[in-house]
Amino acid sequence: MEINERRNREEMIDKFISARRKDKLLPSGLKMVAWKSTVALSYFLKRAIDILVSSTALFIASPFFTLLAIAIKIESPGPLIFSQIRVGKNGRHFKFFKFRSMVQNAEKLKDQLKQDNESKDGVIFKMKKDPRITKIGAFIRKFSIDELPQLFNVLIGDMSLVGPRPPLPREVAEYTLEDRKRLHAKPGITCTWQISGRSDIPFKIQAELDKEYIHSKSFWKDMKILILTVPAVITGKGAY
């Protein structure tokens, strides 16, 4: 009898412990489901806005593109669109588009100008008075008009409206392991450092701002960056 009672007590204790464990797991499971749902909704909203804004902007700007194409062609021979391989999310390479703002052989001339690089970190190349830039090019770069073809990149999913700027493969080759965290998000047309000083901000600070964005990104943060991009573009501060 005693043996049976002891077994019954042990079974009851086991059932009680098991029930308690299930009670503890349930809220955690619900939290995980809620978190995954929130992340999925955030990605859906971000992609929906990317498609809506990029397609609308391309439609509205199409007549302006024609006038700009004529101006670029008149001043300098060469293609209207400059395409280049850039590094996207998780290291994936894609073709990146811009209106051509430099002379046709700009990439070859760049090797001759390395000693004039004004970027203190040396990872990226920046010159305030770059001789390769055309007159039309200087204007469209100042107001970020040259970046408008990247709306196609956004529309097809290579880029987003907001995210770290996509680097060149040779720049990524010089990244530290910490710098490579910038590649954990889809690249964007605008980002935190683009609204905070653009090219005037050293590369290391750009990388820190990008990593901070990735860790705290949200739908509302993207909206704030998009809104603040407008005055940053109008003033043209730090653009060269």
Residues 6+ apart with CB under 8 A from 45: 219
pTM score:
0.78
Count CB-CB contacts under 10 A for residue 156: 12
pLDDT tens across 95-112, in order? 999 999 998 877 777 777
Dist CA 142 CA 46 (whole Å):
27
pLDDT score at 2:
47
Per-domain residue ranges of the chain:
43-235
User: Dihedral of CA 214/218/221/222: which sign?
Assistant: positive
pLDDT digits (tens, 9 = 90+) for 11-35: 554 554 454 445 454 466 676 776 6
Q: What is the pLDDT of residues 205-218, one digit of tens each?
A: 898 999 999 988 88
DSSP string computed for 201-238: S-HHHHHHHHHHHHHH--HHHHHHHHHHHHHHHHH-TT
Residue 40 and residue 219: Cα distance in Å, rounded?
A: 12
